[in-house]
Amino acid sequence: MKEDKLSETKMEVRKIFTAYLEKKKQRKTPERYAILDEIYTHKKHFDVDTLFIQMKNRNYHVSRATVYNTLDLLLDCNLVKRHQFGQNIAMYEQSFGFRQHDHLICLSCNKVLEFCDPRIQQINSTMGGLLGFNVSHHSLHLYGNPIVDENNICKSCNLEVIHKDE
Amino acid sequence: MKEDKLSETKMEVRKIFTAYLEKKKQRKTPERYAILDEIYTHKKHFDVDTLFIQMKNRNYHVSRATVYNTLDLLLDCNLVKRHQFGQNIAMYEQSFGFRQHDHLICLSCNKVLEFCDPRIQQINSTMGGLLGFNVSHHSLHLYGNPIVDENNICKSCNLEVIHKDE
DNA sequence: ATCCCTGCAAAGGGTTTGCAGACGC
DNA sequence: GCGTCTGCAAACCCTTTGCAGGGAT
């Protein structure tokens, strides 16, 4: 069931990527497809090094340079998005088939939760209009500490642990 | 008039910084005050290297290490804020006497405009409550292209140029 | 006088680049 | 076969760190 949906998504993104590469007259190399596949095999959020090591562990070798290069292509065709959550390292996430959402970052464990709030779109259009801009995208990150119950169990982290297993 | 207000602000932030250093039992070195002064002499947004070079040009030498060290202190006592607008380089801004605001970054010239929208606070509390977090701060960046008039003059950049001269 | 802070330069970490060889087209 | 993508490693850039000397307390 889940498997089917997963491979269905993979097929779909491969098609999109192929169309993109053809349009841009770029080569359809096995490395590029392997990277795309790897991204859509795992959980949504990842950093470059994690991706690189995952592929190495599967004995599919690609260089970091190729990972970076391919991510640029995938960003350009909207199959992944890039975020700067902390300070230095860039985080990426799958972006096919997911609706617009923003992120809340846990200050105690750095986990990332997602949420949707339509008011952000209202802010975009109001402020764009006011300042004379067409707002094409935004980044909204909330940072906070989890509210713990009397047993000192972090409700959000529990939630997130479940989230990771799916 | 403007001058008066500027030096008034500088006096004020110096006092706050002094109180902070005393509370934290940190030394009140001339370098630290020089850096604070430099920050409050110029426009609100800056990066470390710009600040460093400005001071060098004034023939006040401080090392980059000291700049970074002092910025950490100023961050801690809320006299400056740090932002990640682009990808790599950190941007800082004065934060004394300015009310909460967010930023719109021009995709054509990278200029930074500020805006306030109370709805962001509503999002913070709604989503914090929903996800079980106390949201302590947030970062909201809008990215967009300026709406140009028939003469191809960017209304926003004009605005920003005026802004820079103030 | 103490010992924290500064300056310097080297190291660190993520990302980019240059070049030679490989391979999609 | 041509031209560009890959792999490798070095370069890059911003930031942090280690150490020795100097200045605040």
Residue B85 amino acid letter: F
A92-to-A64, A112, A138, B46, B117 alpha-carbon distances in Å? 15, 12, 15, 27, 28
Which tens digit of pLDDT belongs to each residue from A50-72?
A: 999 999 999 999 999 999 999 99
Q: Enumerate chain B positions whose Cβ falls within 8 A of a Cβ in A.
A: 84, 87, 90, 104, 106-107, 113, 115, 117, 119-120, 122-124, 126-128, 130-147, 155-156, 159
Partner-chain residue, chosen from B87, B123, B132, that has the shortest CB–CB distance to A84? B87
Residue B4: predicted pLDDT = 63
Report the sign of the C-alpha dihedral through residues B65, B18, B137, B145, in that order.
negative
Are A147 and B155 within 8 A, CB to CB? no
Q: What are the CA-CA distances from residue B33 to residues A81, B40, B43, B166 (Å)?
A: 41, 11, 17, 24
- How does pLDDT run across B38-71, given as a tens digit for each residue? 999 987 899 999 999 999 999 999 999 999 999 9
- Give the 3-state secondary structure of residue A136: strand
Q: How high does pLDDT run on average in chain B?
A: 87
Do the chains contact at A134 and B145, CB–CB below 8 Å?
yes
Mutate to test the interface with B, among A133, A140, A154 (most CBs of B within 10 A): A133
Asked whether B116 and B101 are in contact (CB, 8 A), the reply is yes
pLDDT at A98: 80
The predicted pLDDT at position A153 comes to 66
% residues pLDDT > 90 (chain A): 67
**A5 confidence band (pLDDT: 50, 70, 90):** low
Query: Which residue, chain included where needed, has tokens 């090591």?
Result: A53
Q: What is the pLDDT of residue B85?
A: 86
pLDDT under 70: residue ranges of chain B? 1-6, 87, 149-166
The strand ranges marked E within B59-101 are 80-83, 91-94
Q: What would you report as the CA-atom Rg of chain B, rounded to the nearest whole angstrom?
A: 18
* B160 φ/ψ angles, rounded to the nearest 5 degrees: -70, -35
Residue B111 is predicted with a pLDDT of 82
Average pLDDT of span A88-116: 89
β-sheet bridge partners, residue B93: B45, B81
How many angstroms separate the CA atoms of A81 and A45, rounded? 9
Chain A residue numbers with beta carbons less than 8 Å from the beta carbon of B113 are: 131, 133
A10-24 mean pLDDT: 96
What is the pLDDT at residue A44?
Answer: 82
Segment A92-106 mean pLDDT: 91
How sure is the predictor about A163, in pLDDT bands with cuts at 50, 70 and 90? Answer: very low
- Report yes or no: A87 and B139 within 8 Å, Cβ to Cβ: no
Q: β-strands A102-106, A133-146: how paired?
A: parallel
What are residue B47's DSSP bridge partners? B91
In this prediction, residue B155 carries a pLDDT of 65
d(CA A46, CA A91) in angstroms, rounded, equals 6
The reply to whether A1 Cβ lies less than 7 angstroms from strand D is no
Q: Is the pLDDT of residue A120 over 60?
A: yes
Task: Classify the C-alpha dihedral B117-B123-B124-B125 as positive or negative.
Answer: positive
- Two tokens at A90? 């860039």
**pTM: predicted TM-score of the whole model, two decimal places:** 0.84
The answer to whether B33 CB is within 7 Å of strand C is no
Is the separation of the CB atoms in A27 and A70 below 8 Å?
Answer: no
B7-36 b/e (C-beta count within 10 Å ≥ 16 → b): eeebeebbebbeebbeeeeeeeeebbbbbb
**Residues of chain B found within 8 Å of residue A107, distances taken between Cβ atoms:** 136
Report how far apart, in Å, the C-alpha atoms of B58 and of each of A11, B47, B74 are. Answer: 60, 17, 21
Task: Give the sheet arrangement for strand B91-94, strand by strand.
Answer: B45-47, B91-94, B80-83
Q: Please check the confidence at residue A160 and state whether its pLDDT lies above 50.
A: no
